[in-house]
Structure 1
Amino acid sequence: MSQIALHYLWWIAALLLLGGEVLLPGYFMLWIGLAAAVMGVVLLAVPGLTALAQAVIFVILAFASCFLYWKWVRPRLNRVPAGNERLNRRGEQLIGQRYTLCEPIVQGRGKAKVGDGMWLVTGPDLPLGATVEVVGIDGTTLRVKATDVA
């Protein structure tokens, strides 16, 4: 095969790797696919590279691109924006809030009205209508304490 057409093989390999990333997402094949695409560009710029030189350069590019992802891109993707630490953890968002009991707490268990729903609560025995403050959460049960409402 002529040296001019070899760069197309690298681009086809890149497309196959990127397609594999679509089927099996995880970012790994994406970065190796990008290395293959860059290798195609390198071979287009320097058409006389031997197969061994191409393989060595591709391995270096693949390791470099994966390292770039692991050390620079991945930490930024996993970062939670400030103020959103409790996003998608509704129970934790309720800590510190005050609610009214819609069922009294008897033997440590009752229910409080939260928005348009009711949540199970645990805490000291309190009568119906008492105001409680959420101090923690156990699964889907809120831990509450009595509040002094004047």
Structure 2
Amino acid sequence: MFATLATHHLWWLLALLLIGLEVALPGYFLLWIGIGAAATGVLAWLLPGLSLLAQAIAFAVMAFLACAVYAWMLRPKLRRTESTGERLNRRGAQMVGRRYVLVEPIVNGRGKARVGDGEWLVAGPDLPLGATVEVVKVDGNTLQVRPAA
């Protein structure tokens, strides 16, 4: 079967195998080597007379360059977005600084505010129904609020 395939097809098969392994064993490493194999396949397709040694060297260079692009360009950007993701599973922490409207007045320090399609318990100074509040802190499932400026 492989004897009838052109060399560039073999590089593309290797790329698919490596990227498929990345799906099974995530970690961003095999993906970039797979991209290097795909790029080598494109090079072998564009230059059909390229020797196998030259293709192997090109693969090593392309895989290294793909990994370097990830490490020096993409990874820092992903880290910045991950640092904001520390609140990902803490929905309340994402609400600090946001403003909401009271659907129940705050009486004796307790009330409710509309958050999306639901209601959250709020604690703060007494305020009338419909007042806009700003979240300053989250305490369990209760939002600590103050009147919005």
Same-fold call, TM > 0.5? yes
- Alignment of structure 1 residues 35-74 onto 2, 5 Å: 35-44=36-45, 45=47, 46-50=49-53, 53-73=54-74
Question: Would you tell me which structure has more helix in proportion to its own residues?
Answer: 2
Q: Distance in 1 between matches of 2:147 and 2:99?
A: 12
The residue that corresponds to 1:111 in the other structure is 111
Secondary structure, aligned partner of 1:47: coil
- Alignment of structure 1 residues 12-91 onto 2, 5 Å: 12-44=13-45, 45=47, 46-50=49-53, 53-73=54-74
RMSD of equivalent CA atoms: 4.3
Which structure 2 segments of 5+ residues have no match? Answer: 82-88
1:12-64 per-residue CA deviation (whole Å, 9 max, x = no partner) reads 211211222333445432321121122234345243243xx444332211110
**Structure 2 CA distance for partners of 1:96 and 1:40, relative to 1, 3 Å:** closer
Is this contact kept in 2: 1:104–1:129, CA < 8 A?
Answer: no
1:53-104 per-residue CA deviation (whole Å, 9 max, x = no partner) reads 4443322111101222344455667887xxxxxxx95762772344254563
Q: Distance in 1 between matches of 2:64 and 2:136?
A: 45
TM-score normalised over the length of structure 2:
0.59
Which structure 1 segments of 5+ residues have no match? Answer: 81-87
Aligned residues: 136
* % identical aligned pairs: 39
Q: Distance in 2 between matches of 1:54 and 1:65?
A: 16
TM-score normalised over the length of structure 1:
0.59
Kindly name which structure, 1 or 2, has the bigger radius of gyration based on alpha carbons.
Answer: 1
For 1:114, the aligned partner's letter is R
